[in-house]
């Protein structure tokens, strides 16, 4: 039910007709427009290149006689050479400038196409330069070339202007007409496609979509009407048959799964509790009393031991305490617990757990920090404080031991459904695939002998199961492992407590 509700609340995507327009019609017209634009652009560039090459050819053809005339100060010869340029088609003007940019002589129009600085730069660097110029409504191409004497010295600069041919203006007009035709054509096609989809496809699909939405909200009795073309009628028929089959199959599957889950959970829990309960009772009975005697005798012998041997007595006390802790964990693992849930601050739980592990954190030189959003905003969880804090201590302790001189990050949040997720991330080597399957098995550990009993994760797993939650294990984004404690919403926890209390009654 929740799954269908989440589907119905999603944002509606693009309609079929809009998708067809965007995927087929628009790309088709865009391709045609792009091809036409590239063709016109290449044609225009070809015309421009031809214009530039022709102006350069004309300039080079008259540069030698003009240089000779300018060197010998023959004004008539210069005017005659400049006049010959107008024998070429579309010549707009021809001018001679001094190396300092001042005007000497010329014929035609477009004398001011270049700034004096540009003319001086051409003369100084002995380079040629050209550009397209607009003068009023007329466009032309102006070209500069240095004039030299027989010794190779620059004595002037020649400027030749040529008007763009009518073909260039025609190309621009063709571009505008093509753009207009493209816009008009795509507008007409879009209208035709929209109208056809609306009258022949949208209406049958809307009826079918309405039925499916009703089904998605949980009304499984809804069936599609047989409307529209043959394809839509067949689709509605198949949909109705599918809904009948789904209803029948869902009932069977849900009943079978629920029974199997309950049976498997009860069997696994009973078997585990029975095995660990027997083991815990035996260990507590066989080891509890001897350990108490050993510790008491060690305390009596302490005053008689030389000072330089006192460390041996301390070692005996330490090992006895460690064995006592293992026995306590075994007893807690096998014992039936009555949960005492109450609203608890997660930040406070983490802070208290870190205080209890201050010695280990300092010894390993590990940084334990809260990450956002938990660092910025505390969250409240409904747990048995003592047991859940022990579960946190087990995870943080393992993370610190796996991350010497590194960082351990703790985070927590509650999603919109009320499920709480508390994660502990380390910077260690991570967990191998082989170890994943046995992480929560009692006495299984990857730590060296003497550094772990293999019961910490088992106790944590048992604690989360008692709370109706679970422990998830994954690899960190930058290495290491991430253990996540998942707690169900508080109303589900309260229901589980009632069921557990009734079952134990």
pLDDT per residue over 399-414, tens digit each?
888 888 888 888 888 8
Residue 485 in this model has a pLDDT that exceeds 90: yes
Between the two ends of the chain, the Cα-to-Cα distance in Å is 33
Residue with tokens 């879009």, as numbered in its chain: 190
Q: What is the pLDDT of residue 193?
A: 74
Counting residues of the chain whose pLDDT is more than 70, the rounded percentage is 81
Residue 493 in this model has a pLDDT that exceeds 60: no
Rounded Cα distance, 130 and 123, in Å = 14
Residue 467 in this model has a pLDDT that exceeds 70: yes
| Of residues 498, 478, 470, 334, the one with CA closest to residue 407 | 478
Q: What is the pLDDT of residue 432?
A: 76
Backbone φ and ψ for 383, nearest 5 degrees, come out as: -145, 165
- Is 412 strand, coil or helix? strand
Q: What is the pLDDT of residue 486?
A: 92
Q: Which residue has the higher pLDDT, 224 or 482?
A: 482
Q: What is the pLDDT of residue 437?
A: 67
Residue 209 in this model has a pLDDT that exceeds 80: no
Q: Which of 53-57, 94-98, 139-143, 285-289 has the lowest mean pLDDT?
A: 285-289
Tokens standing for residue 335: 């014992």
Query: What is the residue-wise DSSP string for 73-90?
Result: T-HHHHHHHHHHGGGSTT
pLDDT per residue over 55-91, tens digit each?
888 888 888 888 888 878 777 777 777 787 777 777 7
Residue 11 in this model has a pLDDT that exceeds 60: no
Q: Which of 159-163, 206-210, 310-314, 384-388 has the lowest mean pLDDT?
A: 206-210
Q: What is the pLDDT of residue 484?
A: 92
Domain 338-504 has CATH 3.40.630.30: no
Q: What is the pLDDT of residue 12?
A: 47
Region 206-221: mean pLDDT is 76
Q: What is the pLDDT of residue 5?
A: 42
Query: What is the residue-wise DSSP string for 171-224?
Result: HHHHHHHHHHHHHHHHHHHHHHHHHHHIIIIIHHHHHHHHHHHHHHTT-TT---
**Structure confidence at residue 487 as a pLDDT band (50, 70, 90):** very high
Q: What is the pLDDT of residue 8?
A: 42
| Residues shown for the chain | 505
Q: In what order do the strands lie in the sheet with 154-163?
A: 103-108, 91-97, 154-163, 138-148, 129-135
**Structure confidence at residue 474 as a pLDDT band (50, 70, 90):** confident
The DSSP H or E segment spanning 275 is: helix 230-301
| Of residues 155, 154, 130, the one with CA closest to residue 144 | 130
DSSP letter at 447?
S
Return the number of other C-beta atoms located less than 10 Å from residue 58's C-beta: 19
Q: What is the pLDDT of residue 3?
A: 45
Rounded Cα distance, 412 and 415, in Å = 10
Q: What is the pLDDT of residue 336?
A: 58
Rounded Cα distance, 29 and 35, in Å = 10
**Structure confidence at residue 201 as a pLDDT band (50, 70, 90):** confident
Region 177-205: mean pLDDT is 75
Residue with tokens 């772990």, as numbered in its chain: 452
Residue 45 in this model has a pLDDT that exceeds 80: no
Q: What is the pLDDT of residue 502?
A: 43
Rounded Cα distance, 285 and 333, in Å = 16
Q: Where are the domains of the chain?
A: 1-222, 338-504
Q: Which residue has the higher pLDDT, 100 or 246?
A: 100
Averaged pLDDT score across all residues of the chain: 77
Q: What is the pLDDT of residue 364?
A: 84
pLDDT per residue over 16-44, tens digit each?
666 666 777 777 777 777 777 777 677 76
The neighbouring-strand residues paired with 162 are: 91, 141
Rounded Cα distance, 137 and 116, in Å = 24
Rounded Cα distance, 28 and 137, in Å = 37
Fold of 1-222: Beta-Lactamase (3.30.450)
């Amino acid at each position: 039910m929740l799954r269908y509700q989440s589907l119905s609340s999603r944002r509606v995507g693009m309609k079929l007709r809009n998708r067809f327009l965007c995927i087929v019609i628009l790309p088709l017209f865009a391709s045609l427009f792009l091809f036409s634009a590239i063709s016109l652009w290449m044609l225009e560039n070809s015309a421009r290149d031809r214009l530039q090459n022709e102006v350069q050819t004309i300039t080079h053809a008259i540069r030698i006689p003009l240089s000779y005339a300018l060197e010998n100060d023959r004004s008539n010869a210069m005017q005659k050479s400049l006049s010959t340029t107008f024998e070429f088609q579309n010549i707009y003007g021809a001018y001679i400038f001094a190396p300092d940019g001042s005007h000497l002589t010329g014929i035609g129009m477009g004398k001011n196409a270049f700034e004096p600085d540009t003319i001086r730069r051409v003369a100084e660097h002995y380079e040629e330069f050209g550009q397209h110029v607009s003068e009023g409504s007329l466009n032309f191409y102006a070209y500069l070339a240095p004039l030299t004497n027989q010794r190779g010295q620059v004595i002037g600069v020649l400027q030749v202007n040529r008007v763009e041919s009518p073909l260039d203006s025609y190309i621009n007009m063709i571009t505008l007409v093509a753009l207009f035709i493209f816009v008009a054509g795509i507008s007409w096609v879009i209208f035709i496609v929209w109208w056809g989809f609306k009258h022949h496809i949208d209406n049958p699909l809307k009826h079918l979509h309405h039925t499916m939405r009703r089904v998605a909200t949980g009304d499984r009795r809804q069936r599609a009407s047989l409307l529209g073309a043959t394809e839509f009628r067949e689709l509605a028929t198949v949909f109705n048959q599918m809904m009948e089959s789904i209803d029948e199959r869902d009932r069977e599957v849900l009943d079978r799964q629920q029974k199997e889950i309950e049976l498997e959970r009860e069997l696994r829990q009973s078997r585990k509790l029975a095995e660990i309960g027997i083991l815990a009772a035996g260990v507590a009975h066989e080891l509890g009393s001897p350990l108490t005697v050993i510790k008491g005798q060690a305390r009596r012998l302490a005053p008689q031991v030389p000072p330089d041997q006192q460390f041996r007595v301390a070692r005996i006390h330490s090992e006895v305490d460690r064995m006592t802790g293992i026995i306590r964990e075994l007893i807690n693992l096998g014992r039936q617990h009555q949960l005492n849930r109450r609203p608890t601050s997660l930040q406070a739980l983490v802070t208290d757990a870190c205080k209890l592990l201050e010695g280990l954190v300092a010894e390993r030189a590990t940084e334990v920090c809260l990450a956002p959003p938990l660092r910025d905003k505390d969250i409240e969880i409904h747990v048995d404080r003592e047991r859940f804090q022990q579960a946190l201590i087990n995870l943080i302790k393992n993370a610190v031991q796996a991350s010497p001189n590194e960082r351990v990050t703790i985070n927590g949040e509650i999603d919109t459904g009320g499920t709480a997720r508390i994660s502990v991330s380390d910077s260690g080597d991570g967990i191998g695939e082989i170890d994943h399957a046995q992480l929560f098995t009692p006495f299984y550990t990857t730590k060296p002998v003497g550094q772990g009993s293999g019961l910490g994760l088992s106790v944590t797993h048992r604690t989360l199961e008692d709370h109706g939650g679970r422990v998830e294990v994954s690899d960190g984004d930058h290495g290491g492992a991430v253990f996540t404690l998942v707690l169900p919403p508080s109303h589900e926890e309260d229901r589980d407590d009632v069921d557990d209390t009734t079952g134990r009654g």
